[in-house]
Amino acid sequence: MGRTIFINLLSNTIKFSPNANKVIVELSSEKDHTIISVIDFGLGIPESEVEKIFMPFTRGQNVDSIQGTGLGLSIVKEALAAMGGKIIVNSTLGIGTTFVVKIPKKTIRLTIKTFNIEEIFILLSVSVLSSIFYIELSSYLRIILVC
């Protein structure tokens, strides 16, 4: 889900900044959240439309000439809701838009008594955005994975 969120936001940022020569992606962390900010210097979103852009098949009135279905941001919002996250929009018409995504960090505790190399490989190849995997192999051996 994290990949879907990031790709949708980044592609929108590029698509709706046709005359800009840069976009900015910032990653940061708070105690309980991972934060991704995606900033463009494009068209901006009219204030009256900011809440509507998360509804399926809804597009801003100022983007008629730019291809799209109006589904990307609704997918982002649903994915974030499933993860317990939220999205904040700050936009100025003609200046640009900032989307700030806050995704809660989760702690998953696994206790493994016996394991083989395949089980370890499966555990190590799990990729969940902003999660900590704590694997207690014995009272002396613990592994902490931060993704």
Q: For the chain, how many residues are written? A: 147
User: Structure tokens of 93?
Assistant: 């018409």
Q: Clarify whether residues 12 and 57 are in a common domain.
A: yes
Residues 81 and 99 grouped into a single domain: yes
Are 12 and 73 in the same domain?
yes
Q: Which amino acid is at 95?
A: I
Which residue range forms the structural domain that includes residue 82?
2-104
Provide the domain count of the chain: 2
Task: Please state whether 2 falls in left (phi above 0), alpha (psi between -120 and 50) or beta.
Answer: alpha
100 plus 111 within the same structural domain: no
Regarding whether 112 and 70 lie in a shared domain, the answer is: no
> What pTM was computed for the model?
0.68
Same domain, 132 and 93: no
Encode burial over 28-58: b for 16+ CB neighbours within 10 A, e otherwise: eeeeebbbbbbbbbbbbbeeebeeebbeeee
Question: Could you read off the pLDDT tens digit of each residue along the chain, which spans 147 residues?
Answer: 777 888 888 888 888 888 888 888 988 888 888 898 999 998 899 999 898 989 888 777 767 677 777 788 999 999 999 889 999 999 999 899 999 999 998 755 555 444 444 544 444 444 344 444 445 554 545 555 444
Cα 131 to Cα 105, 112, 146, distances in angstroms: 5, 18, 6
Q: Is 30 in the same domain as 96?
A: yes
88 and 60 belong to one structural domain: yes
The CATH number of whichever domain residue 17 belongs to comes to 3.30.565.10
Output the six-digit token pair for 101: 């995504």
Q: Are residues 79 and 139 in the same domain?
A: no
Are residues 94 and 30 part of one domain? Answer: yes
DSSP bridge partners of 87:
101
